[in-house]
Amino acid sequence: MSGPGQLWTLIWTFGLMSLFAVGGANSAIPEMHRVAVDINHWMTDKQFADMFAISQLSPGPNVLIVTLIGYSVAGIMGAVAATLAMCGPTAILAWYVSGILKRASTSRWPAIIQAGLVPLSIGLMAASALILARTSDLSWMATLITIVAAVLATATRLSPLWMMVVGGLLGFAGVI
Amino acid sequence: MPSNSPAASDPDPTPSVPADPPGLIELFVAFAKMSLAGFGGVLGWARRSIVDQHRWMTAEEFNETFALCHILPGPNIVNLSFVFGSRFGGFAGGCAAFAGLIGPPMVIATVLAGLYARFGDIDALRRTLAGVACAAVGLLIAVVLRMMWPLIKKRDALGMLILVAVFIAIGVLQLPLHTVVLVAIPLSLVITYFLRMRGAA
């Protein structure tokens, strides 16, 4: 598992994936799982769930799970290559489109596109939650922690960091 | 619609540039700060920094810019950093904000990835991360529920149908993302367009 071949695979994989990630990095998690676990066998289900956990624990945008996947495939160069491939092309695209829209801002297309795409991106994120639940919630206790966190995050203004810390402590204590 | 947008009467399409536009280093530092402050999402910090703290954009400008970055593919907040930075410093400004947002957290994530590669087999760490993952999945579910709520409140049947179809195709059938997106986007846009035409007629 080394050499420039792996780097190109990472760049190609994540560069292409980013163009279809409607709604952001969290929408592409099922595809990341499919590519990293099912197709390329870069990691196990458990390792994928761990990387999601680490990416949520560390500061910065959600897209950092890609950095972790890249590292596990090809070390530091892999981390950098995967991250830039996932972030660069779409950032340039956004820059380009925002330039066009500034000149033709009266169109009603943005509203229609938004109305059409928002449900799609929510569906993708819901699928992400399902895929991750399938890899993480392997016991009744684990499922219960997920449900309680979902309810607390929906109904209260508790910091998400605290919920992850409590989840980690419960895991450490062997409850799961 | 003259009432809802004060900028509509302004013939100059460039947004109100603040008196003190940020330089490249300032852009880098500001985006690095909001990125490192953001656990579980940077959007809230970005809004606070850009709109409230530095007053580089009005809330309305920020919302418009974010809406655009949200309908375009890719990590939203990363798109926003580039679009925002380029508004003040052209391509170089975009790169400065992008590098600030991505660079420092990428270094942290890489260090964590290295630690995980080294110590990931330790049982206590495995158990701890499993617990964190369970909670993090719950947080993601909460985000989905919060985003779904407006669709439910509006009784948007078409939106819910698209949502469920995409959920099944990706989550249950585990089809490739590009296949689903390439089918769902045109279908969703065409149906939305015709429903609006009929609604307007």
pLDDT digits (tens, 9 = 90+) for A102-149: 766 556 667 778 788 889 999 999 999 999 999 999 999 999 999 999
Averaged pLDDT, B164-189: 95
End-to-end CA distance of chain B: 18
When scoring B9, B12, B17, B72 by the number of chain A Cβ atoms within 10 A, the one with the most, hence best to mutate, is B72
End-to-end CA distance of chain A: 33
Task: Please determine, for residue A2, whether its predicted confidence score (pLDDT) is greater than 50.
Answer: yes
Kindly report the number of other CB atoms within 10 A of residue A2's CB atom.
10
From B139's Cα to the closest Cα of chain A, the distance in A is 5
Q: Tell me the C-alpha distance between B191 and B195, whole Å.
A: 6
Q: Does B106 touch chain A (CB under 8 A)?
A: yes
**A55 vs B contacts (CB less than 8 Å):** 109
Q: Tell me the C-alpha distance between A132 and A53, whole Å.
A: 10
Averaged pLDDT, B50-58: 91
Q: Does residue A117 sit within a domain?
A: no
Q: At what angle do helices B123-153 and A109-136 cross, to 10 degrees?
A: 150
Inter-CA distances, B193 with A36, A119, B2, B158, Å = 37, 15, 24, 12
Q: Give the nearest partner residue to A129 out of B94, B113, B141, using CB atoms.
A: B141
Banded pLDDT at B60 (limits 50, 70, 90): confident
Q: Does residue A100 sit within a domain?
A: yes
Q: Give the nearest partner residue to A59 out of B36, B69, B133, using CB atoms.
A: B36
Task: Please determine, for residue B78, whether its predicted confidence score (pLDDT) is greater than 90.
Answer: yes
Q: Tell me the C-alpha distance between B160 and B154, whole Å.
A: 10
Inter-CA distances, A162 with A158, A168, B135, Å = 7, 10, 10
Q: Does residue A167 sit within a domain?
A: no
What amino acid occupies position A146? T
Contact A160 B139 (CB under 8 A): yes
Q: Tell me the C-alpha distance between A160 and B80, whole Å.
A: 23
Closest CA to A31 of B109, B130, B78, B179: B179
Averaged pLDDT, A2-15: 89
Output the pLDDT for position A3.
67
Residue, of A34 and B19, whose pLDDT is higher: A34
From B107's Cα to the closest Cα of chain A, the distance in A is 9
* Distant-in-sequence contacts of B145-153, Cβ < 8 A, 24+ apart: B145/A150, B145/A154, B146/A154, B147/A118, B147/A122, B147/A125, B148/A122, B148/A126, B151/A118, B151/A119, B151/A122
Task: Please determine, for residue B11, whether its predicted confidence score (pLDDT) is greater than 70.
Answer: no
Question: Domain coordinates of chain B in residue numbers?
Answer: 13-120, 155-201
Helix ranges (DSSP H) in chain A: 3-19, 29-33, 45-57, 65-103, 109-136, 140-155, 160-172
Output the pLDDT for position B18.
61
* Contact residues, A window 40-59, toward B, CB-based 8 Å cutoff: 46-47, 49-59
Search chain B and give the residue with CA nearest A132.
B137
CA atoms within 13 A on the CB side of B94: 21
Q: Does residue A173 sit within a domain?
A: no
**A170 vs B contacts (CB less than 8 Å):** 131
Q: What is the mean pLDDT of chain A?
A: 91
Tens of pLDDT along A63-115?
A: 999 999 999 999 999 999 999 999 999 999 999 998 887 766 556 667 778 78
Search chain B and give the residue with CA nearest A127.
B171
Q: Does residue A172 sit within a domain?
A: no
What amino acid occupies position A75? G
Search chain B and give the residue with CA nearest A31.
B177
Task: Please determine, for residue B9, whether its predicted confidence score (pLDDT) is greater than 50.
Answer: no
Averaged pLDDT, B50-79: 89
Contact A149 B135 (CB under 8 A): yes
Joined tokens for residue B45: 């910090």
Q: Does B43 touch chain A (CB under 8 A)?
A: no
Q: Does A39 touch chain B (CB under 8 A)?
A: no
Inter-CA distances, A89 with A30, A101, A173, Å = 20, 18, 43
Averaged pLDDT, A166-171: 96
Contact A98, B68 (CB under 8 A): yes
Contact B72 A24 (CB under 8 A): no
Spatial CB neighbours of A54, under 8 Å, sequence gap ≥ 6: A68, B109, B112, B113, B116, B129, B132
Task: Please determine, for residue B15, whether its predicted confidence score (pLDDT) is greater than 70.
Answer: no
Search chain B and give the residue with CA nearest A25.
B75
- Least confident residue range of A164-168, B70-74, B96-100: B70-74
Q: B13-27: buried (b, 16+ CB within 10 Å) or exposed (e) per residue?
A: eebeeeeeebebebb
- Name the strand (E) or helix (H) holding A1: none
Search chain A and give the residue with CA nearest B32.
A60
pTM of the model: 0.88
Q: Is A144 helix (H, G, I), strand (E, B) or coil?
A: helix
Spatial CB neighbours of B106, under 8 Å, sequence gap ≥ 6: A60, A64, A67, A79, A80, A83
Q: Tell me the C-alpha distance between B132 and B172, whole Å.
A: 24
Joined tokens for residue A24: 């952001």
Q: Does residue A17 sit within a domain?
A: yes
Q: How many domains does chain A have?
A: 1
Which domain, by its residues, includes A26? 3-105
Joined tokens for residue B201: 């007629």
Task: Please determine, for residue B38, whether its predicted confidence score (pLDDT) is greater than 70.
Answer: yes
Contact B165, B184 (CB under 8 A): yes
- Least confident residue range of A12-16, A60-64, A116-120, B6-10: B6-10
Q: Does residue A36 sit within a domain?
A: yes
When scoring A48, A63, A97 by the number of chain B Cβ atoms within 10 A, the one with the most, hence best to mutate, is A63
Banded pLDDT at B155 (limits 50, 70, 90): confident
Q: Give the nearest partner residue to A61 out of B35, B94, B193, using CB atoms.
A: B35
Tens of pLDDT along B99-144?
A: 999 999 999 999 999 999 999 999 999 999 999 999 999 999 999 9
Output the pLDDT for position A72.
96
Averaged pLDDT, B3-30: 64
